[in-house]
């Protein structure tokens, strides 16, 4: 009985040992399974970490490069900003210098304008020798190359309209010469218009030392001289490229126009032959209107087609308004010019003198 009991106990222990071994094997298998599984996961995690580290390294390199580029761009912008600041300061300095020089030049030209204005006939003096007249005088610049000259000798009124070569300061210098020569030449009581123009030409050629050589300056002036002889009711005229227009109302025509044509040569030396200027006469009647004008009005660009106004349009307008008083005529002539020119720049000096007999 004791042996049987021992055998049963041994068998029980063997069974228990087998169970323990089986369980141990299962545990080891489970442990190995999870170890292998965790090892794969670990390897994947490590691979992911390594990949992330590599990506982070590339990103870091890229960020470093971008930062370097940004720093370079920042330095360049700072340098450009400094350059722009210097250029701006320099430009402002130059602008101030130019403005200062412009002001000095403008002040000088305005002073020249005052001198030129002083040399033109005074309005009070003109009013003493002419009853109904207008003078339309619009320099393109501050000073003008156009000028007018009016005087009286022995119950005769002398009216001159002139257009010098150039405009602005160069033209103004020529106008001063013209006024000076007229003051010197027109002294005799028995003056003649053609003689004055011939002497003017001699003075201009001599003063400008013109010899007719090639490439020599051709400075001079176009000029019209009208001598109104009140006692004999006639006009004496001579012109260098500037004609005289007389408009008269008659029984046959309310707009009869008489044009006293100028010689086609200037006061000065030019390419053609210097022939003596011609003298013309015309009888005048009460109510006659006479006009002399430079080419500035006719040469002005404007209108819807941006063309020159032209002489034919001007004489047509004058023929339509010549019966009005001269003050009203001037308003119409000036308004027509402004409307025609519009916003376009004035191309030349404008001068027109109208006289009602």
Residues 6 or more apart in contact with residue 272 via CB below 8 angstroms: 265
Taking the CA atoms of residue 22, residue 27, residue 30 and residue 31 in that order, the dihedral angle to the nearest 10 degrees is -140
CB contact at 8 A, 79 and 72: no
CB contact at 8 A, 154 and 123: no
CA angle, residues 283, 286, 290, in degrees to nearest 5: 65
**Whether the predicted pLDDT of 44 surpasses 70:** yes
Number of H helices, E strands in the chain: 6, 12
Task: Tell the burial category of 252 from Cβ atoms under 10 Å away from its Cβ (0-12, 13-18, 19+).
Answer: exposed
Enter the tokens of residue 179: 């006024």
Q: Which of the two residues, 128 and 31, has the higher pLDDT score?
A: 128
Question: Which residue has 């590339």 as its token pair?
Answer: 58
pLDDT value for 145 = 92
CB contact at 8 A, 171 and 143: yes
pLDDT value for 98 = 77
Taking the CA atoms of residue 119, residue 123, residue 128 and residue 134 in that order, the dihedral angle to the nearest 10 degrees is 110
pLDDT value for 26 = 67
CA angle, residues 331, 333, 339, in degrees to nearest 5: 95
pLDDT value for 1 = 58
Phi-psi region of 228 (alpha: psi -120 to 50; beta: other; left: phi over 0): beta
Question: What is the Cα gyration radius of the chain?
Answer: 51
| Among candidate residues 119, 180, 186, the one with its CA nearest the CA of residue 157 | 186
**Global pTM value:** 0.74
Task: Tell the burial category of 21 from Cβ atoms under 10 Å away from its Cβ (0-12, 13-18, 19+).
Answer: exposed
Both ends of the chain: CA-CA distance in Å?
A: 179
pLDDT value for 271 = 75
Enter the tokens of residue 306: 């941006």
Q: Which helix (H) or strand (E) holds 217?
A: none
* pLDDT bucket at 238, cuts 50 / 70 / 90: very high
**Cβ atoms within 10 Å, residue 233:** 13
pLDDT value for 3 = 63
pLDDT, averaged across the chain: 87
* pLDDT bucket at 87, cuts 50 / 70 / 90: confident
pLDDT tens figures, 113-149: 888 889 899 999 999 999 999 999 999 988 999 999 9
pLDDT value for 30 = 64
pLDDT value for 189 = 61
Question: Which residue has 């660009």 as its token pair?
Answer: 301
Q: Which helix (H) or strand (E) holds 352?
A: strand 350-356
- Give me the percent of the chain exceeding a pLDDT of 70: 91
**Cβ atoms within 10 Å, residue 264:** 10
**Whether the predicted pLDDT of 337 surpasses 80:** yes
pLDDT value for 75 = 86
Residues 6 or more apart in contact with residue 68 via CB below 8 angstroms: none
pLDDT tens figures, 239-284: 999 999 999 998 888 889 999 999 999 999 887 778 999 999 999 9
| Among candidate residues 67, 158, 179, 89, the one with its CA nearest the CA of residue 355 | 158
pLDDT value for 133 = 98
**Whether the predicted pLDDT of 38 surpasses 90:** no
Q: Measured between alpha carbons, how far is 208 from 199 in angstroms, rounded to an integer?
A: 14
CB contact at 8 A, 290 and 235: yes
Average pLDDT over residues 42-66: 77
pLDDT value for 156 = 93
Would strands 289-293 and 350-356 be described as parallel, antiparallel, or unpaired? Answer: antiparallel
CB contact at 8 A, 200 and 182: yes
pLDDT tens figures, 140-178: 988 999 999 999 988 899 999 999 987 778 888 899 999
* pLDDT bucket at 299, cuts 50 / 70 / 90: very high
Structure letter (DSSP) for residue 264? S
Residue 255: beta bridge partners?
Answer: none
pLDDT value for 73 = 82
């Amino acid at each position: 009985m004791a042996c049987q009991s021992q055998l049963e106990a041994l068998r029980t222990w063997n069974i228990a040992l087998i169970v323990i071994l089986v369980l141990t094997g299962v545990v080891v298998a489970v442990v190995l399974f999870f170890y292998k599984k965790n090892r794969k996961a670990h390897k994947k995690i490590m691979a992911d970490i390594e990949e992330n580290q590599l990506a982070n390294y590339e990103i870091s390199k890229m960020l470093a490069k971008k930062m370097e580029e940004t720093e370079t761009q920042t330095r360049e912008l700072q340098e450009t900003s400094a350059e722009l600041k210097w250029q701006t300061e320099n430009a402002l300095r130059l602008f101030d210098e130019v403005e200062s020089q412009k002001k000095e030049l403008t002040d000088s030209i305005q002073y020249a304008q005052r001198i030129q204005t002083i040399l033109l006939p005074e309005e009070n003096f003109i009013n003493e020798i002419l009853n109904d007249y207008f003078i339309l005088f619009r320099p393109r610049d501050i000073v003008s190359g156009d000028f007018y000259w009016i005087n009286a000798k022995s119950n005769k009124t002398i009216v001159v309209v002139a257009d010098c070569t150039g405009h602005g300061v160069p033209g103004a210098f020529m106008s001063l010469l013209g006024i000076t020569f007229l003051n010197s030449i027109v002294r005799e009581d028995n003056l003649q218009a053609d003689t004055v123009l011939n002497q003017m030409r001699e003075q201009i050629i001599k003063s400008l030392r013109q010899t007719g050589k090639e490439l020599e300056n051709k400075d001079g002036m176009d000029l019209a001289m009208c001598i109104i002889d009140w006692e004999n009711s006639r006009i004496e005229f001579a012109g260098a490229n500037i004609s005289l227009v007389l408009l008269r109302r008659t029984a046959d025509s309310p707009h009869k126009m008489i044009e006293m044509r100028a010689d086609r040569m200037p006061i000065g030396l030019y390419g053609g032959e210097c022939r003596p200027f011609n003298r013309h006469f015309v009888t005048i009647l009460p109510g006659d209107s006479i006009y002399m004008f430079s080419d500035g009005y006719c040469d002005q660009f404007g209108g819807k087609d941006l063309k020159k106004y032209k002489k034919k349009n001007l004489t047509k307008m004058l023929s339509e308004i010549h019966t009005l008083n001269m003050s009203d005529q001037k308003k119409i002539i000036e308004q027509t010019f402004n409307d025609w020119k519009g916003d376009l720049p004035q191309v030349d000096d404008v001068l027109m003198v109208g006289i009602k007999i």
